Amino acid sequence: MGIYIPDSTQPRVVIVGAGFAGLKLARKLALLPYQVVLLDRNNYHQFQPLFYQVAMAGLEPSSIVFPLRKLFQKRANVFIRLAEVESVRTEEKILNTSLGPLAYDHLVLAMGATTNFFGNERLEKLAIPMKTVGEALGIRNAILEDYEKSIVTPDFEERQELIDIVVVGGGPTGVEICGALAEMRKYVLPKDFSELNCGEIDIHLIQSSGVLLKGMSGKASAAALKSLEKLGVNVKLNTRVTDYDGAYVHMNDGTSIRANKVIWAAGIKANEIAGLPADAQGQGCRLKVNRFNQLEGMEQVYAIGDMAYMEEEAYPQGHPQVAQVAMQQAEQLARNLKGTLSGRAWKPFKYKNRGSMATIGRHRAVVDMPHIHINGAFAWFIWLYVHLYKLLGTKNKLFVFLNWMWNYVTYDQSLRLIIRPIKRKEEEVCPDSCRE
């Protein structure tokens, strides 16, 4: 038995993933005579650019997520289902899911990307990723729990293992985490943990290439490095992490760092789906698509966002895996699917780079726009405005703005809570008698 979706004379578009790409496409198609089925493992959209603020106790998770059903309350042609996608049968136009099979007329794969540990199983097991709001909350818990342990740990070396933090990856995520950690060390921890010598806390950023913020301008990279060094972050460039055993981080230059926590922000790879030809995948497990976001040889199967590998003249190695690309591809695909209804020819996708940015802390940010580079306080205010504008929900915008204002005035937050899920034994939740 398959997923129940009411029969309709409208063509059915199944969208897998409610990230930036999938959600943008669903909202566009909701206004057209299509039956839209949106599948995701969660019932909410996550605003990934602010994950690091959840991890650093700057924002609550509820401030950066938005319920999917609320967005489509007035759209009778949109159906939301919580399901895990298992495989696709392209010849039969069937998607296999944890809820059963689902037929489609058009299938759009927008499942985004996951953390790439480059085949290192021990790093995958022990390092902490940050690709979901749950993982961000896990980082917050781990940091606060270790600081609580540190104040009752008299041995210096054992205490260092608890309070020192290693961040791997010098892209926007790694840079922003380190900046937030450095500000927490300076302004927050001395008040919360007055028994702890916060000067003992070391923050390490390990980057395999010779520059930070690879993909941004040289000016942005240099400005980010200078800002982090001013904040007291130990930046190691041209250094690759080779192993982590839970106590020591080992690097290719033969050195090691003792740390109880390693935050992994060193790379991503596209989520995979079974049933597609092996040659459909490109680098980073991304799906090779033409300029219409169609998989080669499969006109009614599309990939958008982080999953899509598309080459164009200005991007011979594919587009950057950022929200801008995802939303622009979704918009273009929506326009093309609209054109199908009226018989218009499809137009190829062309990426319009509107700039990139990263923040390193209060009054410290870098913004690259075409032919313009900005850093410092003005760039920081631009970063704040853009992220607040892109956030879904008026209430979320208000709560985030108030949190930012309070933090700006007081140099403090009241969100440093250790929230653990309650673990119960199966017998306690449902004894044998209730299963009979």
What are 255-269's pLDDT values in tens digits? 999 999 999 999 899
Q: Which domain holds residue 293?
A: 12-115+269-342
Residue 433 scores a pLDDT above 60: no
Residues 87 and 139 occupy one common structural domain: no
Number of domains observed in the structure of the chain: 2
CATH of the domain at 241: 3.50.50.100
pLDDT tens-digit map of 362-409: 999 999 998 899 999 999 999 999 999 999 999 999 999 999 999 898
Residues 127 and 255 occupy one common structural domain: yes
pTM score above 0.75: yes
For the residues of 189-238, what is the DSSP string, one character each? HHHH-TTS-GGG--EEEE-SSSSSSBTB-HHHHHHHHHHHHHTT-EEE-S
Mean pLDDT over each residue of the chain, to the nearest integer: 92
**256 in any annotated domain:** yes
Residues 104 and 185 occupy one common structural domain: no
Residues 249 and 136 occupy one common structural domain: yes
User: Taking the C-alpha atoms of 429, 431, 435 and 436 in order, what is their torsion angle to the nearest 10 degrees?
Assistant: -160
Give the per-residue pLDDT at 417: 81
DSSP secondary structure code for residue 423 in this structure: P
Residue 425 scores a pLDDT above 70: no
Q: Which one of 342, 370, 390 terminates a domain?
A: 342
Residues 220 and 299 occupy one common structural domain: no
3-class secondary structure, 340: helix
Residues 72 and 197 occupy one common structural domain: no
3-class secondary structure, 177: helix
pLDDT tens-digit map of 91-132: 999 999 999 999 999 999 999 999 999 999 999 999 999 999
d(CA 295, CA 315): 18
**What count of residues does the chain have?**
436
